[in-house]
């Protein structure tokens, strides 16, 4: 390659499109569709058939169009079909259920995402103690947000695929990335981290995480940083972590292999709540957007089990999601208390369906880095193998929601359940003979697990999924249901749909604990649970 070619390759790229380019383009495409439809209708009404359609009257066309439109809207509300993303780009009357349905559809349609994540947070304070007769609501009514939300760290860069691969390049404390308008007017992160780790000694101090659900390999490395075990800070020995056999999904994997949305606070369970919310128009990064918001119950706030003071969780009374109108992709998630922002996580510099290579998600450590390897014990197997690994037959759904397909199966003789005790300290409980089956629809996922019930009836497992305080379901978000069909017919199951945690259901049956959890609505959870049959 000559110097000219090298320069063209390295520096010949053009700037990104101006904000709003794609939105404008899809509006132009919509206009083109409308023009073609009008042209066709004109030909038909004027008695000039185009050779492929027969003549119809305007009245019949209008009636047919109205019926089709009504069915399309109903179909999106009741059961989001895969054609919904583009067809309903500009609903005449913005309806939260329609927007949420389109968001779900968008999340099943795209195959990759590349984006910069910017998070900010504000502190919440309230009375030091409960007065007699107070409830959590009373405490939160007196709580207040301390000042505006401030950035939490610097922007992080994520890449994710619908196949369960995730790469997260995030600044380590003290890193100096800057984010803002670039010299050509685009908004950009000015210090990009090269994909190659060959330059590890020179790259900015960031951490690089990779995860792959299909292989169970997770890695973490902070190039250029050195970790001191003596001081507990980055100082001396360079360190990297490589985890194999990572769990597939919740309840085993919380905090391990998380989806990018979970990692960055984009909780899909919030969508169910938001479907009952309100919609307003907005502009985001210069593009038309919609904001869907809904009021929620904050809390709980409880006296600390040890010492004095109050512990409070779910410190918000409203959640909002901002949706890019052209793609229906969720780009911002915000929680608020008394109208003030508490947590804010937003995506920018987004590329959807941009090509990615497997190398991006392959752990790579420089020579000389001390890699600490561990195996969490979940071995990827075929679904056939999963059916016969242990002395029980795991359960699998016989009905899948639209667009979902099998992604991976994993088995583990042992795992650890992380639980929180009384909304306080975390504890780990051993779990045995686990079979996990993972299903995907684009960026949406759910996991079905079957395991021995041994040790799982511990009272600390009142909710086996409540591993983080903010993920705890409030009493009105929990219910007991009796399953009506399938292998668990007649079994009482517990169902929880916490505002930010993963929607989930669990039941004990025949010496086993069965769980279903993921990006599902309450009805979908029940449908799957009612369809569980022995895996063949």
Partner 1 sequence: MTPSADGAEVVDLRERRAEAPTPRRSAHTTLAAAMAASDDRLRALAYHLLGSRDAMDDVLQEVYVKAYRHLDEFRGESTIATWLYRITYTTCIDHLRREKRTEPMTSEQIEDARPGIAGIDDHLAIRDQLHQALAALSPERCAAVLLVLRDGYNYVDAAEILGVPPGTVASRVAHGRRQLAAALSTDTEGGE
Q: Which residues bind partner 1 (CB under 8 A)?
A: 1-5, 7-18, 21, 24-25, 28-29, 32-33, 36, 82-83, 86-87, 162, 183-185, 352-355, 383-384, 387, 396-400, 402-406, 531, 533-536
- Residue number with CB closer to partner 1 (29 or 137): 29
C-alpha span between 321 and 345 (Å, rounded): 10
C-alpha span between 203 and 196 (Å, rounded): 10
- Residue number with CB closer to partner 1 (400 or 418): 400
Q: CA quadruple 274, 404, 442, 95: dihedral positive or negative?
A: negative
- Residue number with CB closer to partner 1 (387 or 493): 387
Q: CA quadruple 94, 346, 274, 272: dihedral positive or negative?
A: positive
Question: What is the DSSP track for 439-465?
Answer: EEETTEEEEEEEEE-TTTT-GGGSSTT
Closest contact distance (angstroms) between CB of 111 and partner 1 is: 8
- Residue number with CB closer to partner 1 (407 or 496): 407
- Residue number with CB closer to partner 1 (113 or 483): 113
Q: What is the 3-state secondary structure (H, E, C) of 53-111?
A: CCCCCHHHHHHHHHHHHHHHHHHHHHCCCCCHHHHCCCCCCCCHHHHHHHHHHHHHHCC
Q: Would strands 370-375 and 227-228 be described as parallel, antiparallel, or unpaired? A: unpaired
Closest contact distance (angstroms) between CB of 522 and partner 1 is: 20
Dihedral pair phi/psi, residue 370, rounded to 5°: -85, 115
Q: What angle do CA 463, 468, 471 make, to 5 degrees?
A: 70
Question: What is the DSSP track for 137-153?
Answer: HHHHHH-EEEEEEEE-S
- Residue number with CB closer to partner 1 (241 or 383): 383
Closest contact distance (angstroms) between CB of 88 and partner 1 is: 12
| C-beta separation of 267 from 499 below 8 A | yes
Closest contact distance (angstroms) between CB of 229 and partner 1 is: 37
Closest contact distance (angstroms) between CB of 2 and partner 1 is: 3
Beta bridge partners, 438, equal: 408, 447
- Residue number with CB closer to partner 1 (453 or 533): 533
- Residue number with CB closer to partner 1 (12 or 151): 12
Q: If you ran DSSP here, which 8-state letter would residue 237 be given?
A: B
- Residue number with CB closer to partner 1 (2 or 173): 2
Closest contact distance (angstroms) between CB of 452 and partner 1 is: 21
Closest contact distance (angstroms) between CB of 136 and partner 1 is: 41
Closest contact distance (angstroms) between CB of 43 and partner 1 is: 16
Closest contact distance (angstroms) between CB of 36 and partner 1 is: 8
- Counting Cα atoms < 13 Å in the Cβ hemisphere of 56 gives 13
Beta bridge partners, 370, equal: 239
C-alpha span between 266 and 287 (Å, rounded): 20
Closest contact distance (angstroms) between CB of 508 and partner 1 is: 22
C-alpha pair distances (Å), 495 with each of 100, 284, 297, 480, 483? 22, 36, 18, 6, 11
- Residue number with CB closer to partner 1 (89 or 477): 89
Question: What is the DSSP track for 458-482?
Answer: -GGGSSTT--SGGGPPPGGGEEEEE
Distance of CA 67 to the CA centre of its chain: 35
C-alpha pair distances (Å), 517 with each of 195, 319, 386, 483, 529? 33, 22, 19, 16, 10
Closest contact distance (angstroms) between CB of 386 and partner 1 is: 10
Closest contact distance (angstroms) between CB of 353 and partner 1 is: 5
- Residue number with CB closer to partner 1 (16 or 470): 16
Q: How many CB atoms lie within 10 A of CB 236?
A: 12
- Residue number with CB closer to partner 1 (314 or 394): 394
| C-beta separation of 188 from 349 below 8 A | yes
């Amino acid at each position: 390659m000559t110097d000219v070619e090298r320069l063209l390759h390295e520096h010949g790229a053009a700037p990104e499109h101006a904000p709003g380019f794609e939105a404008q383009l899809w509006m132009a495409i919509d206009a083109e569709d409308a023009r073609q439809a009008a042209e066709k209708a004109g030909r038909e009404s004027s008695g000039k058939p185009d050779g492929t359609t027969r003549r119809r009257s305007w009245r019949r066309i209008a009636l047919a169009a109205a019926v089709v439109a009504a069915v399309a809207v109903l179909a999106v509300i009741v059961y989001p079909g895969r054609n919904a993303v583009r067809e309903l780009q500009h609903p005449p009357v913005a309806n939260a259920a329609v927007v949420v349905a389109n968001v779900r559809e968008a999340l099943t349609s795209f195959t990759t995402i590349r984006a910069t994540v910017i998070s900010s947070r504000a502190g919440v304070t309230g009375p030091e103690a409960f007065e007699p007769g107070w409830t959590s609501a009373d405490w939160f009514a007196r709580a207040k947000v301390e000042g505006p939300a401030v950035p939490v760290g610097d922007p992080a860069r994520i890449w994710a695929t619908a196949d369960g691969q995730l790469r997260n390049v995030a600044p380590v404390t003290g890193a100096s990335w800057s984010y803002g308008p670039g010299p050509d007017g685009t908004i950009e992160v000015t210090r990009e981290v090269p994909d190659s780790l060959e330059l590890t000694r020179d790259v900015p101090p960031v951490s690089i995480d990779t995860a792959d659900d299909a292989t169970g390999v997770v890695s973490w490395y902070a190039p250029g940083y050195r970790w001191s075990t003596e001081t507990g800070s980055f100082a001396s020995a360079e360190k990297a972590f490589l985890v194999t056999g990572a769990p597939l999904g919740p309840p085993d994997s919380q905090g391990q292999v998380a989806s990018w949305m979970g990692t960055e606070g984009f909780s899909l369970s919030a969508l169910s709540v938001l479907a009952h919310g309100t919609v307003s128009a907005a502009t985001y990064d210069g593009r038309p957007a919609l904001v869907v918001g809904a009021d929620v119950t904050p809390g709980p706030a409880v006296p600390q089990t040890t010492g004095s003071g109050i512990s409070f969780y779910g410190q918000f009374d409203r959640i909002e999601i901002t949706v890019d109108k052209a793609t229906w992709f969720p780009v911002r998630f915000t929680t608020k208390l008394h109208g003030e922002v508490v947590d804010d996580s937003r995506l920018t510099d987004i590329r959807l369906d941009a090509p990615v290579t497997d190398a991006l998600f392959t752990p790579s450590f420089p020579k000389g880095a001390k890699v600490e390897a561990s195996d969490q014990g979940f071995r990827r197997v075929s679904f056939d193998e999963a059916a016969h690994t242990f002395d029980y037959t795991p359960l699998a759904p016989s009905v899948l929601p639209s667009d979902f397909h099998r992604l991976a199966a994993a088995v583990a003789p042992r795992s650890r359940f992380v639980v929180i005790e009384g909304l306080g300290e975390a504890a780990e409980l051993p779990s045995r003979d686990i079979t996990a089956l993972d299903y995907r629809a684009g960026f949406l996922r759910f996991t079905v697990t079957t395991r021995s019930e041994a040790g799982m009836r511990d009272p600390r497992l009142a909710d086996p999924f409540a591993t983080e305080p903010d993920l705890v379901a409030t009493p009105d978000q929990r219910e007991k249901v009796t399953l009506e069909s399938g292998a668990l017919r007649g079994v009482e199951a517990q169902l929880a749909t916490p505002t930010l945690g993963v929607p989930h259901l669990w039941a004990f049956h025949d010496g086993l604990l069965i769980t279903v959890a993921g990006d599902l609505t309450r009805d979908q959870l029940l449908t799957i649970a009612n369809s569980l049959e022995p895996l063949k």
